[in-house]
Copies of this chain bind each other. A is one copy, B any other.
Amino acid sequence: MTPRTPAPRSRRERPAKPALTYEGIVATAVRLMESEGLQRVTMRRLAQELDTGPASLYVYVASTAELHAAILEELLGAVDLSPAAADGEGEGDTGTGDTGTGDWRERLARLLGSYTHVLFAHPSLAHSALIARPSGPNYLALVEAVLSLLHEGGVPDAQAAWGVDVLLQVATANAAEHSARDRTAGAEAEHHALVAALRDASPDTHPRIAALGGDLTSGAPGQRLAWSFRMVINGTMTTPRTAP
């Protein structure tokens, strides 16, 4: 005598549990990361958020690593690629007269800065970006943008092809390092230990470290990163692919 079907009203009480889809899972994962950090985006926690059991997720996602890569690809949509847009915006009078030689370099540094910024905004993600590189549309667009700026600058194709990797790697590694420093208490302590060790190195055993002194750790992170970008761009321009 008990009704077999639940009262229709109960469907309106809360939004009906949506069917699982890859897109839905990733979207929920992004939300979860934004609110609780990547370290909480686990299969179990995510399943709980989706009102199901962890085993259900394995139908759509092969592993936790793949899940994290999918989140990164999603976030890469926020990278500002406009520095690479060489045309389109202002038709006739593009010449504002301000774009001297070297301008493409500055725009490339700005583009890479935007990429770094996105990683910084989601600290734990940079770390996973080094291991599981995404291959979705947003990542491809980023690679294309970097390549087009190198092309604009007249960097030989062969060098650009290999340089883009290093450029993105430097940006990613920097974000990973600094975001780890902010996040985990231990990482900050370890960085201080390194600074102290460099400061206290003896001129007898470590003459060069002693000679450079505080300069080894000088500069704001942003300044150092900007120099790194310029430096790798210059290196890419001037280093032929044939052995020296």
Out of B62, B169, B239, name the residue touching A170 (CB < 8 Å).
B169
* A34 at the B interface (CB under 8 A): no
* A116 at the B interface (CB under 8 A): no
Are A127 and B131 in contact (CB-based, < 8 A)?
A: yes
Bound complex: CA A143 to CA B201 (Å)? 11
Among the stretches A19-27, A37-45, A154-162, the one at the interface with B is A154-162
Interface size class of chain A, counting residues whose CB lies under 8 Å from the partner chain: 35 or more
* A227 at the B interface (CB under 8 A): yes
Out of B105, B191, B206, B230, name the residue touching A144 (CB < 8 Å).
B206
Copy number of this protein in the oligomer?
Answer: 2
Out of B209, B212, B215, B227, name the residue touching A140 (CB < 8 Å).
B209
Within 8 A of B (CB), among A193-240: 193-194, 196-198, 201, 205-209, 211-212, 215-216, 218-219, 224, 226-228, 230-236, 238-239
Tell me which residues across on chain B come within 8 A of A212, comparing CB atoms: 147, 157, 160-161
